[in-house]
Structure 1
Amino acid sequence: MIKKLRIFLALGLVVVGSLVMVPLQLLSMKTGLWSETVVLKIWHRMILKALGMRVHVKGKLSRERPLLIAANHISWTDIMVLGSFVDVKFIARADMEGWPLIGMLSKLQRTVFIERDRKRTSGDQASEIARRMAKGDAMVLFAEGSTGDGNLVLPFKSTLFGAASMAISEGAAEQVFIQPVAIAYTRLHGVPMGRRHRPIAAWIGDQDLMPHLKGLLAEGSLDAEVHFGDPVPFSKGSNRKETARLMEAKVREMMQATLADPAPSR
């Protein structure tokens, strides 16, 4: 009964809040009266509040530009976790564009949707990401190309770093900075999660969104940690595969350190 009540109240908060936030964000995008990320941060924080999720941050977003953020990926909530406190734009897989709420949120923060399995469109998409970085947008790339279970970092796909190469080859920048970022879900009701419980936060593969959302709303009280590493310059002579391996190693190191010693819940 308590879990059902929690789900009802949380969904009510998201719906009512969204009815207010959507018009404000559309107004911001059309008029430029205020930064587009102002409303988005409030919106992301509201969704995290509904989920009962607390965010802990170590390090900070680099001020270097153009900037590509290479992060691991555990769940759709990663977008809310990052978007709640930093000014970033996201790179997401194409099918997310049609999802309820998440798709709308993505469009309202000018997400770049990519079709990873269609080579004919990959060049245009990489070019769009390159242009956005050149304009000063910090773009978040979930470099595994899929979601993990919260225990391990999957191999980073070097092809997804093509936007960095294209930004340089098209003359948009002499170099691009790539910053490793580790995301981890560490505590449930204040208690550190072990390997068996971390998948509670994970949204894996083709799992349906609504059952996962209901499960998170019913569970409540999760802690997420975000760790920022030092940015690495990527220039004309840089090797894309070596860069992908380096970012993967740095993210894995930060994530493992986080899981071994999670921040206190508050």
Structure 2
Amino acid sequence: MSVWLPGAPCTPTACVETTGPAAALPRAVLRLAAVAALLLAGVVLAPLGGRVPAGWIRRWCRAIVRACGVRVRIAGAAAPTGGLLLVANHISWLDVPLLTAVRPARMLAKAEIRRWPVAGPLAARGGALFLERDRLRALPGTVALIAGALRDGTAVAAFPEGSTWCGRAEGRFHRAVFQAALDAGVAVQPVRIRYRVAGGAASTAPAFVGDDSLLASLWRVASARGLTAEVDVRPAIAPGTHPDRRTLARAAHPVRTGEPRWAHAALGGVSPIMPG
């Protein structure tokens, strides 16, 4: 099996639950309509590529999450400029706009996403790096492609767990993508993403795991009430501080450090609490 294609034990039946009172049906429909409108705007603007200001991209990504009815809290260190590997744990499709809200980046995505309606063309136009996860022979070329983008001063975002987990359980970071950061000599910035309901309890409602369908996951998020996404940006790991990809992957796993301090935190001028 390819190092890009690890398994996760999480399934919709065993792990995913809707916590808290559901939103009224009209509100859920309006939320989905707002998401569709924002995605359409993204498709229209995608051909502009690098000419779209980074601030606009961050605001658009936050708007996607807020349109779903999810409050957003971002706290921690500011992302440095230049080539950067952003790595995060992976729970939901919401992780993608949340990570891009930290810093616009070329997303490392599985090749299957290219075939998704709307999201596939949008990801391709946005510069996503697609990988064939079941082809071990493609590994050196994929690492070289990522390293080349990093050397060019681009940020690349990846989910090194290789699969989504429900959030209550998490996987280890696989090492392959970290070799690209070592080859390019760039920093690695860990990010931890969590979802909670009112009162602070962990929520698996946003999880997109196992054989869950994207439509079912969209509806579950849009119809939930009181969801909050917490994005904790850890300090960047400077290049040259770890001798190999194994130790770098271990150091970059964001679960290894403590809880964030939300009360007075801010990220590059972004308010730590953004109501949906």
Q: CA deviation at 1:42?
A: 4.1
Is contact 1:17–1:43 with CA below 8 Å preserved after alignment?
yes
Residue of structure 2 in register with 1:79 after alignment: 96
Pair 1:57–1:2, CA change in 2 (3 A): closer
Moved more, 153-162 or 83-92: 83-92
Q: Percent identity?
A: 30
* From 93, 109, 112, the counterpart of 2:110: 93
Pair 1:136–1:200, CA change in 2 (3 A): same
Is contact 2:35–2:68 with CA below 8 Å preserved after alignment?
no
Pair 1:224–1:236, CA change in 2 (3 A): closer
SS in 2 for 1:107: helix
Is contact 2:108–2:157 with CA below 8 Å preserved after alignment?
yes
Q: CA deviation at 1:50?
A: 1.9
Residue of structure 1 in register with 2:58 after alignment: 41
SS in 1 for 2:259: helix
Query: C-alpha separation between the residues in 2 aligned to 1:51 and 1:202?
Result: 14
AA aligned opposite 1:212: S
SS in 1 for 2:220: helix
Q: Does 1:56 align with 2:73?
A: yes
Query: C-alpha separation between the residues in 1 aligned to 2:215 and 2:188?
Result: 33
- Number of aligned residues: 245
Query: C-alpha separation between the residues in 2 aligned to 1:178 and 1:209?
Result: 30
Gaps of 5+ in 2: 1-21, 264-271
Pair 1:97–1:51, CA change in 2 (3 A): same
Q: Does 1:257 align with 2:265?
A: no
Q: CA deviation at 1:219?
A: 0.8
Q: Which has a greater percent of helix?
A: 1
* From 38, 41, 45, the counterpart of 1:17: 38
Q: TM-score, normalised by structure 2?
A: 0.78
Residue of structure 2 in register with 1:184 after alignment: 194
Query: C-alpha separation between the residues in 1 aligned to 2:108 and 2:31?
Result: 27
Query: C-alpha separation between the residues in 1 aligned to 2:189 and 2:41?
Result: 34
Residue of structure 2 in register with 1:113 after alignment: 130
Is contact 1:59–1:228 with CA below 8 Å preserved after alignment?
yes
Gaps of 5+ in 1: 168-174
Q: Which has a greater percent of strand?
A: 1
AA aligned opposite 2:255: R
Q: CA deviation at 1:7?
A: 2.6
Q: TM-score, normalised by structure 1?
A: 0.81
Pair 1:137–1:202, CA change in 2 (3 A): same
Q: Does 1:148 align with 2:156?
A: no
Query: C-alpha separation between the residues in 2 aligned to 1:8 and 1:262?
Result: 31
Query: C-alpha separation between the residues in 2 aligned to 1:85 and 1:247?
Result: 16
